[in-house]
């Protein structure tokens, strides 16, 4: 819920949309946060009261033409006190800048027509932001577009050995050139370094592109699939036995062909056999998934995406005083990372490490 | 680290006006490198149209974890709130800094009329990113501090003494060097020393333990910091809190979610016998130590925890067959069990052993089981203990997925100090595959070795390096799962 209101601070006139939404007493008690000191000009200020949250952006325009050589105004949005208002901050700033431009061009605010001209605009912004989340203002010579964007957390950096998987359709829009070139190679099995090689795009650009897609929730990152990998189950496995929707989704996802779906019991049995110490290779020999109409790579992918299973990574640690090896085998980087960085196959590296008694493998 | 405070500010407002009395930290290191390293090209022409349309840089009031950009006068005018906003939560966000406090009105001891009403406001400046629950905790701390000060003023005029002292120091030093005034105040005023200690405690451990006016102890726990939730990088949405605190019904929903997770912990193998005719699939499932579950910080749900809700959940999650594991040596607990603390806590701790379950502990300490549960929940909240299954020879342990073990980890040295000659990495590597105590003991080994083994496992459990695996039984009578799925 947003309410817009504007204060003109020269004669402490307050314009409210809707009318009289905030009582005068309340306004007086918080006026110090709306009519601010000079140091706080052009900062977004949010004050949380018992029932309301008021988000404002005080602005001052210095000009000789005004009575006290300056014109102050502050456009505020009023929300419920428990609402998140971070996403409105940029909107308030932009809207204030728009009003400032209008004021400088045509004395829009100070001209005394505020009630007749400004009120419809505030009303429009309030209604359209609440219903559509965006608003286009075309009043006067300049136009501006306001849009409320959800603020999400920054995605963590993308590593060479991670595999991007589409978790929803790529939205139909004009993507940038890198994304257009990279997306055909995102098939759920190629890792980032490989995608870079296949698409002939520089590695860091691919990472930036994938990170961007992760931010928009189009792509998720899963660990690289290899038959030597070890997975273990998480407490969420129980959901697979209970949740019918999840079962349906799972069976369609892991099926070898869509004509004949595998049975839930087989799928569940393979998942529950994933324990530390059992590689995918062992499981394939034990269960022979193609016979059960299961695609084992899809099975693992679904499990990781739904967090039914989790990859058990191996972290080699060197215990002797090899200063050159201590950096790479310190226990903070997994075998995958080391393989990807050095270009050695996992099998080869594991054999090498096994022969060295000073190296300890931690599985976690 | 978004849970640490940027600054603690003390503001007063009375009939003589408002004033910022003290803030800590007050020494702001000067920025050594020039802030704007990119020099502007002197030949560029300013584009007039762009001035209004291009978004200006968002301004920041943080610099290396310190609060900057506000003068003391601005801060004091912001925090000397009007009477309408007193005695309730005050929250103000300016750019990327969030201020939270509980402005408290108190009656000065010397003046028993309207002119003797003073507003005292202890404000915490936090990063705006700090989650809703962190803000709530800081508000609680400010409120407690306000209550203590109100009481001390009533008892012996402590606040009027301290504020007078601070004001006079400010007046003396105002002309030459305002920064030096804070240093003098810190040396002279016990209230300032308390604020400094509070800030340091919050930044270091998250456990505040101060004694105001050498009389009233104030202890406070910032759970997010103590339990290091912030390291997991999750932000709690305010809706989660609403969902939890709204009414009892929602408690129940939450409880169901928790209990379903608690079922993960309960070993269901005894059901096996009754259902032997059917096909039974057993699987091993990873489960964290139960107490972590009742934090609600498990993978699939992230709840903001307010203390009341938290204790409620913890009590619901505890079972008589769990056992308590203190995170510190029992000798260190004397500080925690203060003189006026509950005697039953002392009684319970005297019988404490990580090998006993709570039921046995209750019997040995001669307390009711529910009271032992309450004491355990209390200890867990204050990060003095965690809850595990009693260490026994059949428990299977593996390395916890987020165990911070690498060559530069400080835990390595800590382990070495406790167990001389042993190497943490060697010891823990034996838990790469699920390993039980029974597997590691053999009849030939010396009893002392065996007790050392138990000690190392307990040490690793205390540091959350191991987690226990449990076997679960899932009943799946048909190819398509449970029978009701057909209906």
- Contact (Cβ atoms closer than 8 angstroms) between residue A363 and residue B432: yes
Structure tokens at B365: 């300490």
pLDDT at A6 over 70: no
Is the domain of A32 the same as that of A110? yes
The mean pLDDT value for B47-71 works out to 64
B434 neighbourhood in chain A, CB within 8 Å: 275-277
Domain presence at residue A154:
no
pLDDT at A105: 82
Q: Tell me, yes or no, if B474 comes closer than 8 A to chain A by beta carbon.
A: yes
pLDDT at A124: 84
Q: What is the pLDDT of residues A77-108, one digit of tens each?
A: 888 887 778 888 888 888 888 888 888 888 87
Is the domain of A264 the same as that of A357? no
- Radius of gyration in angstroms for the set of CA atoms belonging to chain A, rounded to a whole number: 30
Domains of chain B, by residue range, sit at: 7-26+60-232
Is the domain of A9 the same as that of A143? yes
Please enumerate in sequence order all residues whose Cβ is within 8 A of that of A356, keeping only pairs 6 or more positions apart, or say none: A318
Please enumerate in sequence order all residues whose Cβ is within 8 A of that of B219, keeping only pairs 6 or more positions apart, or say none: B207, B208, B209, B210
Domain presence at residue A153:
no
**Which of A244, A330, A332 lies at the smallest CB-CB distance from B485?**
A244
Structure tokens at B359: 């039921």
Domain closes at, from A208, A223, A238: A223
Contacts with A, B 105-134, CB within 8 Å: 128
Contacts with A, B 281-340, CB within 8 Å: 281-287, 298-300
Domain closes at, from A192, A223, A254: A223
CATH number for the domain spanning A95: value is 3.30.450
Distance of residue A78 Cα from the nearest chain B Cα, in angstroms? 14
Is the domain of A37 the same as that of A140? yes
Beta bridge partners of A77: A4, A55
What does the DSSP 8-state code read for residue B71?
Answer: -
Give the Cα separation of B349 and B367 in Å (integer).
12
Flag if B92 and A48 touch (Cβ within 8 Å): yes
Residue with tokens 């069990």: B337
- Radius of gyration in angstroms for the set of CA atoms belonging to chain B, rounded to a whole number: 28
Give the Cα separation of B64 and B6 in Å (integer).
9
Least confident of A58-62, B54-58, B73-77: B54-58
pLDDT at B138: 92
Is the domain of A47 the same as that of A24? yes
- Contact (Cβ atoms closer than 8 angstroms) between residue B305 and residue B377: no
Q: Tell me, yes or no, if B71 comes closer than 8 A to chain A by beta carbon.
A: yes
Domain closes at, from A281, A297, A312: A312
CATH number for the domain spanning A207: value is 1.10.10
Give the Cα separation of B135 and B141 in Å (integer).
10
User: Residue A326: closest CA among chain B residues belongs to which residue?
Assistant: B407
Is the domain of A10 the same as that of A143? yes
For A115, A316, A318, A362, B75, the CA distances from B432, given in Å and listed in that order, are 73, 11, 16, 6, 54
Residue with tokens 């005894």: B270
Domain presence at residue A356:
yes
Is the domain of A138 the same as that of A11? yes
Beta-carbon pairs below 8 A across chains A and B: 182
Domain presence at residue A71:
yes
pLDDT at B265 over 80: no
Flag if B405 and A317 touch (Cβ within 8 Å): yes
What is the ipTM metric for this complex?
Answer: 0.78
Please enumerate in sequence order all residues whose Cβ is within 8 A of that of B239, keeping only pairs 6 or more positions apart, or say none: none
B73 neighbourhood in chain A, CB within 8 Å: 37
Domain presence at residue A45:
yes
How many structural domains comprise chain A?
Answer: 4
B245 neighbourhood in chain A, CB within 8 Å: none
Query: Residue B33 — pLDDT band, cuts 50, 70, 90?
Result: very low
The mean pLDDT value for A287-293 works out to 90
Question: Between B485 and A131, whose confidence is greater?
Answer: A131
Is the domain of A59 the same as that of A120? yes
User: Residue A155: closest CA among chain B residues belongs to which residue?
Assistant: B233
Give the Cα separation of A49 and A47 in Å (integer).
6
What does the DSSP 8-state code read for residue B481?
Answer: B
Query: Residue B196 — pLDDT band, cuts 50, 70, 90?
Result: very high
Distance of residue B139 Cα from the nearest chain A Cα, in angstroms? 13
pLDDT at B95: 86
Range of the domain at A29: 3-147
Domain presence at residue A157:
no
Is the domain of A143 the same as that of A187? no
Flag if B93 and A44 touch (Cβ within 8 Å): yes
B131 neighbourhood in chain A, CB within 8 Å: none
- Contact (Cβ atoms closer than 8 angstroms) between residue A278 and residue A271: no
Is the domain of A52 the same as that of A124? yes
Give the Cα separation of B272 and B274 in Å (integer).
6
Distance of residue B271 Cα from the nearest chain A Cα, in angstroms? 16
Q: What is the mean pLDDT of chain B?
A: 75
Is the domain of A137 the same as that of A19? yes
Is the domain of A308 the same as that of A327? no
Q: Tell me, yes or no, if B422 comes closer than 8 A to chain A by beta carbon.
A: no
Flag if A40 and B400 touch (Cβ within 8 Å): no
Structure tokens at B374: 């309450």
Domain presence at residue A105:
yes
Beta bridge partners of B217: B211
For B287, B320, B380, the CA distances from B361, given in Å and listed in that order, are 24, 9, 16
């Amino acid at each position: 819920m947003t309410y817009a209101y504007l204060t003109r601070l020269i004669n402490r006139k307050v314009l409210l949309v809707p009318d009289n939404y905030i009582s005068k007493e309340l306004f007086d008690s918080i006026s110090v946060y709306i009519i601010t000191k000079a140091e706080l000009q052009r900062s977004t200020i949010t004050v949380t009261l018992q029932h309301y949250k008021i988000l404002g952006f005080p602005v001052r325009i210095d000009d000789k033409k005004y009575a006290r050589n300056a014109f102050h105004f502050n456009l505020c949005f009023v929300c419920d006190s428990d609402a998140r208002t971070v996403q409105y901050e940029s909107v308030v700033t932009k809207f204030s800048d728009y009003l400032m431009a209008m004021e400088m061009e045509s004395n829009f605010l100070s001209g005394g027509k505020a009630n007749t001209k400004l009120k419809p605009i505030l009303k429009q912004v309030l209604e359209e932001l609440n219903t559509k989340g965006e608003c286009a203002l075309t009043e006067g010579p300049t136009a501006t577009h306001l849009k409320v964007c959800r603020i999400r957390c920054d995605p963590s950096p993308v590593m060479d050995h991670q595999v991007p998987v589409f978790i929803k359709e790529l939205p139909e829009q004009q993507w940038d050139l890198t994304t257009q070139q990279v997306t055909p190679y995102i098939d759920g099995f190629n890792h980032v370094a490989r995608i870079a090689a296949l698409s002939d795009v520089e590695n860091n650009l691919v990472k930036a592109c994938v990170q961007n897609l992760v931010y928009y929730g189009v792509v998720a990152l899963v660990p690289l699939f290899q038959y030597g990998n070890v997975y273990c189950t998480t407490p969420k496995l129980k959901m697979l036995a209970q949740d019918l929707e999840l079962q349906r989704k799972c069976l369609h996802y892991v099926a070898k062909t869509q004509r004949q779906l595998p049975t839930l019991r087989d799928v569940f049995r393979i998942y529950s056999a994933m324990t530390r110490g059992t590689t995918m290779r062992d499981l394939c020999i034990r269960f022979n998934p193609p016979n059960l109409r299961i695609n084992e790579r899809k099975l693992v992918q679904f499990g990781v995406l739904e967090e039914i299973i989790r990859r058990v990574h191996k972290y080699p640690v060197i215990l002797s005083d090899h200063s050159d090896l201590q950096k790479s085998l310190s226990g903070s980087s997994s075998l995958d990372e080391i393989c990807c960085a050095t270009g050695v196959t996992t099998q080869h590296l594991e054999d090498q490490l096994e022969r060295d008694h000073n190296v300890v493998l931690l599985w976690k | 680290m978004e849970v640490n405070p940027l600054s603690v500010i003390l503001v007063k407002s009375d009939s003589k006006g408002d004033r910022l009395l003290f803030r800590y930290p007050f020494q702001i290191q000067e920025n050594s490198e020039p802030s704007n390293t990119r020099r502007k090209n002197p030949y560029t022409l300013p584009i007039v149209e762009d001035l209004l349309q291009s978004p200006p840089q968002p301004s920041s009031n943080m610099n290396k974890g310190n609060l900057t950009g506000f003068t003391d006068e601005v801060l004091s005018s912001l925090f000397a709130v009007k009477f309408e906003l007193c005695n309730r939560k005050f929250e103000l966000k300016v750019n990327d800094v969030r201020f939270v406090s509980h402005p408290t009105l108190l009656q000065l001891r010397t003046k028993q009329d309207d002119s003797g009403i003073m507003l005292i406001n202890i404000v915490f400046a936090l990063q705006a990113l700090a989650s809703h629950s962190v803000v709530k905790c800081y508000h609680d701390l400010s409120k407690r501090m306000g209550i203590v000060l109100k009481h001390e003023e009533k008892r012996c005029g402590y606040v009027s003494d301290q504020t007078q002292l601070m004001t006079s120091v400010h007046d003396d030093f105002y002309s030459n060097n305002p920064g030096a005034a804070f240093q003098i105040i810190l040396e002279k005023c016990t209230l300032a020393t308390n604020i400094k200690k509070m800030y340091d405690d919050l930044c270091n451990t998250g456990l505040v333990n101060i004694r105001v006016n050498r009389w009233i102890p104030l202890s406070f726990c910032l759970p997010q910091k103590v339990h290091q939730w912030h390291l997991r990088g999750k932000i709690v949405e305010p809706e989660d809190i609403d969902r939890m605190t709204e009414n009892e019904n929602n408690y129940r929903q939450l409880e169901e979610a928790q209990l379903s997770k608690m079922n993960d912990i309960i070993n269901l193998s005894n059901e096996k016998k009754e259902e032997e005719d059917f096909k039974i699939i057993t699987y091993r499932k990873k489960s964290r130590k139960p107490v972590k579950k009742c934090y609600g910080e498990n993978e699939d749900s992230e709840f903001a925890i307010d203390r009341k809700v938290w204790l409620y959940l913890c009590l619901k999650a505890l079972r008589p067959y769990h056992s308590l594991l203190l995170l510190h040596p029992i000798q260190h607990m004397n500080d925690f069990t203060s003189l006026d603390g509950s005697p039953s806590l002392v009684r319970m701790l005297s019988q404490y052993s990580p090998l006993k379950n709570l039921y046995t502990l209750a019997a040995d300490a001669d307390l009711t089981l529910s009271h032992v549960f309450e004491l355990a929940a209390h200890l867990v909240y204050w990060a003095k203990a965690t809850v595990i299954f009693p260490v026994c020879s059949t428990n299977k342990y593996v390395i916890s997925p987020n165990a911070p073990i690498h060559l530069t980890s400080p835990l390595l040295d800590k382990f070495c100090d406790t167990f001389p000659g042993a190497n943490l990495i060697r010891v823990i590597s034996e838990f790469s595959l699920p390993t039980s105590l029974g597997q590691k003991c053999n009849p030939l080994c010396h009893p002392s070795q065996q007790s050392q083994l138990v000690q190392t496992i307990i040490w690793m459990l205390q540091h959350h390096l191991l987690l226990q695996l449990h076997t679960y039984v899932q009943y799946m009578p048909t190819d398509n799962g449970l029978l009701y799925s057909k209906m």
